[in-house]
Amino acid sequence: MESKRYYGVDVGGTTVKIGLFQDEQLLEKWSVPTDISDGGSHIIRDIVRSLPGPADGAAMAVPGAVLPDGTVNRCVNLNWGVCRPGDEFAALTGIPCRVLNDANAAALGEQRLGGGRGHESVLFVALGTGVGAGVVLDGHVRAGTHGAAGEIGHLCWDPSEAGAPCTCGRRGCLEQYSSATGIVRLAVQAGVTGLSCKQILDGAAAGDPVLEAVADQAFDALGWGIAAAAAVIDPEAVVLGGGVALAGEYLRAKVQAAFDRFAFHACQGTPIYLAALGSDAGLIGAALYAKDAGC
C-alpha cells in the first residue's frame, strides 16, 4: 500500500502542537502560539501558515465538545463558539481535515501506540486541571451523540450539600476531587496550604499521613468514577494520562485498588496503565484519526 502523509494538530489554550506523519510515523513536530484574540479567528490561519507542504489528510484535536459531523460546540479556552474549523483548514489548504475532542485524540493515540497498546477497547482518563476522558471501542473513538462520551469529570461523587461547587454549575463533581486543582483544594481543606498538586502527591508517596489521606480521597473518587464508566463500556484496559498521572506507579496502584473496590465483579481486575505518549498523545491521535478516515 502506498504510504500517505497526515498532519496531526493539537490545539491548546496557549500552544498549538503540530506533527507531520508518514502513515503512523512522526516525521517532524513543531508548535505555534495560540492567538485567542478576535474570537480565536486567527488560529487556523496561523496553523496553516506553519505547514511545510501538502499532505493527504489532517485532523485537529480541540479542547471542547465536537459533534460527529465535525461541528465544534464551544471551546471556551480558544474563544470559539459554534464553528467548523476543519472546513476552514480544508478551504485554506485543500487538505481534508477532521476535528475531534482533544481527550478523544489522546485516547486514540494511547490506545493504538501508547499505554493501551494491544487493547482494542480503552478508556483513557486525562488528569489535569480538570478530569476528562476519551472512549475507544473496538479501535474507534466514540465521541457520543453530543460529543460528551467520557465526561466522567462531572459524575457526581458527593451529592450532599457539602459537595464542592463545580465549574459546570453543579456540586460534588468528581473533577473537584481528583483533578490537580481538586487535590490542592482537598489539601487546603485538610489544613495544608501552599503546596502544588505534585508536592502533595510526592509527600503522600513518601508517607506523610495527612497528605496520604488527601491522596486517598482523590484516588477513591477517581476509582469510583472509572468503575462507573466501566459498568457502561466495560473496556479491556484503562489508561491514566495528564500531568497528575506523572505521580506514576504510586498513583496507578492506588487507583487500581480503588477501582477494584468499587467495580462490578465482572469488571474487577481490568488493568489500569499509565499513559506512554506524554504531551504528544493528542497530535499522534489526531493523525491516526485522519488516517482512519482514509483521507
Binding site for Zn ion (CB under 5 A): 154, 166, 168, 173
What three-state secondary structure class fits 162? coil
Distance (Å, rounded) from C-alpha 274 to C-alpha 251? 9
Q: Which is nearer to Zn ion, 166 or 226 (CB)?
A: 166
> Whole-number minimum distance, CB 167 to Zn ion, in Å?
6
> Whole-number minimum distance, CB 151 to Zn ion, in Å?
9
86-103 exposure pattern, b = at least 16 Cβ within 10 A, e = fewer: bebbbeebebbbbbbbbb
> Whole-number minimum distance, CB 175 to Zn ion, in Å?
6
Measured CA to CA in angstroms, residue 194 lies from 30, 187, 200, 217 at distances of 35, 9, 10, 19
> Whole-number minimum distance, CB 129 to Zn ion, in Å?
13
Distance (Å, rounded) from C-alpha 100 to C-alpha 285? 10
Q: Which is nearer to Zn ion, 168 or 188 (CB)?
A: 168
Distance (Å, rounded) from C-alpha 38 to C-alpha 118? 44
> Whole-number minimum distance, CB 260 to Zn ion, in Å?
25
> Whole-number minimum distance, CB 182 to Zn ion, in Å?
11
Q: Which is nearer to Zn ion, 70 or 144 (CB)?
A: 144
135-145 exposure pattern, b = at least 16 Cβ within 10 A, e = fewer: bbbeeebbbbe
Q: Which is nearer to Zn ion, 168 or 206 (CB)?
A: 168
Q: Which is nearer to Zn ion, 131 or 277 (CB)?
A: 131
Measured CA to CA in angstroms, residue 124 lies from 46, 50, 63, 121, 224 at distances of 30, 30, 15, 10, 15
Q: Which is nearer to Zn ion, 168 or 232 (CB)?
A: 168
